[in-house]
Amino acid sequence: MHDEVRALARNQHNGTPPEPVASIVARFRAHQATVGIMGLGYVGLPLACTIARKGFSVLGFDIDASKVDQINAGTSYIGHIASDEIADMRKAGRFAATCDFSRLGEVDAIILCVPTPLTRHREPDLTYVTQTTESIAPYLRRGQLVVLESTTYPGTTRDVLRPILERGGLRSGRDFFLAYSPEREDPGNAQFSTAAIPKVVGGEGPEALQLACALYDEVVSRTVPVTSLEAAEAVKLTENIFRSVNIALANELKTVYEAMGIDVWEVIEAAKSKPFGYMPFYPGPGLGGHCIPIDPFYLTWKAREYGVVTRFIELAGEINTAMPQRVVDRTIEALNERQRKASKGARVLVVGIAYKKNVDDTRESPAFKIIELLEKRGAEVSYYDPIVAEIPPSREHAEFTGRRSVSFGESSISAFDAVVICTDHDSIDYAKLVEWSPLVIDTRNACARGGVSGEHIVKA
């Protein structure tokens, strides 16, 4: 079977008329299509599971052989996805994974879920997108739908993906169909699973849009079609810039109110009682995850091409980027004032290494920057995280790879001069943490929310 598919891909220009769009739509509607997912990380794996759960056959592609082996063995490597779920789909024959990109000829739709990081100069790094698209191009066949879900600047799908996919002679809108649908994952949010979140869809032409909507209509609660690829790309950036700007405002208000002796957390709680015209956003130790700290800079970079300066977005980025330094400054100040200790030689425990509560995802976590800054000031830093037992490899802080969490107990916690709460996992016993610690720096208001108080708790 695989040999026949590969032969079809190699002979994609043999003059065979393309399959009518209506018949492809019908196959999507009947759940008789096979969907290929490129990239099986925090976006790709939940999407693959969701599509398979809806009755489609799913073939996942990844260059990481360990991920492929785990999926095919029926096990999960992401905390909020149960191994039993993957095992059940494997037994039903609806989900398989491979490193063999030549099997792309077997699928009816190809969805790209690969990272779009920034360079050290805060410019878009489309390496994963371009390399993945180049891997698809040799096996692209007539009638396939190709969808990019990775967050990027407007114009990427049309100007970057399409030329690569058309190198072999097939044409978008005639031989294959190109669409963009931004991922909207919120890891650890049980209320909004992948299937429950509406999907924005933009296509290159009406037939591509029709096909993309036909597929996602069967997978998610609702599709939201827009008029172009660029509009769909802009939607994702707008969503994340909205969050970035409002979080920056909350961080700035925290600084202002702190100088006035006002608790910003109390103010936000009272303000959100207003049933209109206000939406609560909360301060923190800095932004984390793959979206909010990165995506706004994709637009600022693209805007320069049009001679537009994005002052508001860049100011928000500056405020949020400065928060880890502010946490470190407050920690050193508290050590001096309350413990009569200098930062050099002080033992500091960072609590929570994940970028958000109740997940094992450490991408862009502000805790890494806080550890880095504390260690530059001479502190001896360890971490505790009930979900992340060992720090995985990362691009920005490879030197932390392999560090392991300390145990949670009175003897281990009380050995530290200060504890800095960076991530407020629900499973942490904050009462015990405060009881055992001589100094607690709380960046998330976790203690107060848990009804825990103490003179040695400092909000930062």
Both tokens assigned to 43 = 């976006």
Both tokens assigned to 4 = 């026949």
Widest CA span in the chain: 81
> CA 352 → CA 74, 86, 152, distances in Å?
29, 28, 29
Within a 13 Å sphere around the CA of 51, how many CA atoms are in the beta-carbon half? 28
Q: What SS3 class is residue 346? A: coil
- Residues marked active site are found at 291
Taking the C-alpha atoms of residue 374 and residue 349, their distance in angstroms, rounded to an integer, is: 10
Cα dihedral 322/325/327/330 (nearest 10):
-120
Within a 13 Å sphere around the CA of 251, how many CA atoms are in the beta-carbon half? 24
Q: What SS3 class is residue 178? A: strand
Residue entry with tokens 């942490």 = 428
Taking the C-alpha atoms of residue 32 and residue 20, their distance in angstroms, rounded to an integer, is: 16
Q: What SS3 class is residue 26? A: helix
